[in-house]
Structure 1
Amino acid sequence: MTNNNALTVLGRSNSSNVQKVMWLLDEIEQPCVRADVGGQFGGNKDADYLAKNPNGVVPTLIHGDAVVWESNTILRYLANYFRANGLYPADAVARSWVDRWMDWQLSSLGPANRVLFQRIVRTPANERSEDAIREAGQQNAELFSLLDRFLERSKYLAGESFSIADIAVGPLAYRWLTLPVERPHCPNVQRWYDLLCEREAFRKHVIEIGLS
């Protein structure tokens, strides 16, 4: 018998955007099937995939008849559908804190972090530019310093409770704190990151995947 509410995630496990979705699904104890798409696996520019996700990027979530793309939208969709109010509060002000950091991740941190990651991990050693890496590292340092100042007065990104905002930013924090670059001293980011590392789902879907 077909399960009309089955969850399928299309996307490779070493994509930070896929990692967000898999991490949340684990947190809310929702089983899913994940299929390797994108990167070294390809398939994301095929007509069948583009019919589901016109941007041709990963992840794409298939949930029964619903097809959802854009990783942060998928996080919101899953939290709403499965009523994970602890991770995405219903109160308008509390929810706005979650949303603003998710938007910050999408508009500011994500692009800068991606450039740094690609210039180190996805570029052969003999083709890397130290100047380009240093420039990208400085952009990330400024953003994580901003985050550090905020976390001086907040346990998590949206307040005292863990939320999908932390899930959105967490995989990028792992990259930043793991890549071989100079980093400013950000004790509040480190304290927050240590809290994430206590979560089994974060270790499973982010740390254990590694940088690749």
Structure 2
Amino acid sequence: MTQRRRITVVLALNLVMIAGLVVAGLAAHSIGLLSEGGDFLADSAALGLGMLAIHLRDRHRNRAATTWVALVNGVWLLVLSVGLAVAAVRRLVSGSPEVHGWTVLVVSAIAAVAMLAAALLLGADAASEDLHMRSILLDTIADGAAAAVVAVVGLVIALADRWYWLDSAAALLVSAVVLLAVVNLLRDVVRALRAGTTYEPSLDD
């Protein structure tokens, strides 16, 4: 399957999940779900830009386009992760409202499965195709892992019917996972831009 088709499918999955995560997050008073929704929104914007980059690369021979789009993607995620972390810390300090654990569990589990399917569709080889495809694969894996953690937190809250602060802690963890992926991505983007070349994976990555 071509890059364009794989990205289109992953983008569709992200768009479907955004609505569910935001609506469920508001209904369940869960900043953990909202943080997932924000992450998926940022990824969707980056994927849309990625479609443009692939067009420029394939139709106009602009191979640097994917590297620049990866930079935009990294900056998007950096801003998002910091913003979510600040919101989570504020809730931890001021106190968390009652969080509906079962809703958090079900919706996050669905999100985790959707991102696992997306990662399998992209394939392991996506990491070595170019920097932009690597960034998409990293984002997808990070999203799935974060959703799985939030699902576990939802289960704990549902069974205990308390410890609502865990939801904010999960949002902080989502931010940390995103930030880690961003740091690695931006490192490679800067390396490629300084060298004036398109991205080529190093053996120690």
TM-score by length of 1: 0.32
- Higher relative CO (CA 8 A, sep ≥ 6), structure 1 or 2? 2
| More strand, by proportion | 1
| More helix, by proportion | 2
TM-score by length of 2: 0.33
